[in-house]
């Protein structure tokens, strides 16, 4: 059964180009290590009447937008194996070192929500 790591995070709009570059590089690393799909999507139509808004959940600051992202794996076992390889990859370590400095980081990792999900339905 496929497995998904999901992410929701606020990001300063001024950093979208840098985030796109970082995400493309990260996505290539995950795919090289075996992820089936890597997707980064930016908020577009998130004020749906009758539903809890992503804005209410994420609480973006002025000038921020919201990213909704996911990585698909063959299984949770594959996800655990692949993520271990990705975390050990020096290319990712280099990206993460940039994220430690408030002057160079593209977004605040502490405000990112992350979780693993089992497929319930896939049509």
Predicted pLDDT of residue 106 = 86
CA distance 91 to 85: 11
Predicted pLDDT of residue 9 = 95
Range of the domain at 104: 3-118
- On whether the pTM is more than 0.95, the answer is no
CA distance 14 to 37: 26
Q: Is residue 94 part of a domain?
A: yes
Q: Is residue 21 part of a domain?
A: yes
Q: Is residue 102 part of a domain?
A: yes
CA neighbor of 43 nearest in space, from 67, 71, 7, 60: 67
Q: What are 34-93's pLDDT values in tens digits?
A: 999 999 999 999 988 999 989 999 999 999 999 999 999 999 999 999 999 999 999 988
- Residue 27 is part of a domain; what is its CATH number? 3.30.70.100
């Amino acid at each position: 059964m496929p497995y998904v790591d999901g992410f929701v995070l606020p990001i300063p709009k001024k950093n979208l180009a840098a985030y796109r570059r970082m995400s493309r590089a990260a996505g290539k690393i995950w795919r090289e290590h075996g992820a089936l799909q890597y997707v980064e999507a930016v908020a577009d139509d998130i004020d749906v009447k009758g539903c809890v808004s992503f804005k209410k959940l994420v609480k973006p600051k002025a000038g921020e937008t919201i990213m909704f992202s996911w990585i698909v794996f063959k299984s949770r076992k594959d996800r655990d194996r692949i993520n271990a390889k990705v975390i050990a990859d020096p290319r990712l370590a280099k990206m993460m070192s940039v994220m430690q400095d408030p002057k160079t980081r593209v977004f605040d990792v502490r405000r990112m929500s992350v979780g693993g999900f089992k497929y319930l339905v896939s049509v």
